[in-house]
Amino acid sequence: MSAPEPTSSGLGLERRIERRVAIRWMLTAAASLPLAQIRLRGDPYAPIDTKGYGTDPELAKTYNPGDVWPLTLSVAQRKTATALCDVIIPADAESPSASSVGVVDFIDEWVSAPYPQQRTDRPLILEGLTWIEEESQKRFSKAFPDLSSAEQSAICDDVCFEPNAKASLKKAARFFARFRDLTAGGFYTTPEGMNDLKYIGNTPLATFDGPPPEVIRRVGLA
């Protein structure tokens, strides 16, 4: 599915929710791998090597970040990720920011996981966080979390839509697109994110009288 063109505001924020798939399956699957089977390599960008995914998880147990395998992001990387998450989904009158509902923990779990997609995303995300910090220092002589909103947006605007990015920024644009997808996926599978979408599924009804008349008219069945 092709992404729409960015809006005049630069970031094309309508694109930040283009993937609202429930990727939290990874967090439950995380419980299936015993820590004893994990071996981290010296290279921080190398994928995590494992011998298998282990046994079925205890679905009644609550797993916190880092319980099943060591997390990846350093303190500095988490600060950068926090700032970038909140550029993509800031707090507004309707909902909180992405970082305030644990999206950075979700991303850290994601890039630390041993599954094929996560192994592919790991170097892209880690190198992208390094790039955004280097770009921040180059342009403004400050760390990305310390920039103003306008300065942060100036960097993100250059990489928020890969077809329009300069050739030298194509890799950074791929990083931004993936990071935006993970941010949206993490946010919109939280209760706060679902509330922001006005999602009302999984709600018991005493009776069901069929779709409202306005819905029937909208889909052309009236």
pTM for the full predicted model: 0.70
Quote the tokens at residue 171: 């890799």
**What pLDDT was estimated at residue 207?**
86
Specify if 8 maps to a domain.
no
Chain mean position to CA 118: 12
DSSP annotation string for 73-134 = --HHHHHHHHHHHHHHS---SSS--SGGGTHHHHHHHHHH--SHHHHHHHHHHHHHHHHHHH
In this prediction, what percent of the chain has a pLDDT beyond 90? 55
Identify whether 1 is part of a domain.
no
Domain of residue 125, residue span: 13-199
Convert the pLDDT of each residue in 138-195 to its tens digit.
999 999 999 999 999 999 999 999 999 999 999 999 999 999 999 999 999 999 999 9
pLDDT at 19 over 60: no
Q: pLDDT tens across 63-98, in order?
A: 888 888 899 999 999 999 999 999 999 999 989 999
In a domain, 68, yes or no: yes
Count of domains for the chain: 1
**pLDDT in the model for residue 27:** 42
- Residue of 194, 162, 158 lying closest to 178 (CA atoms): 162
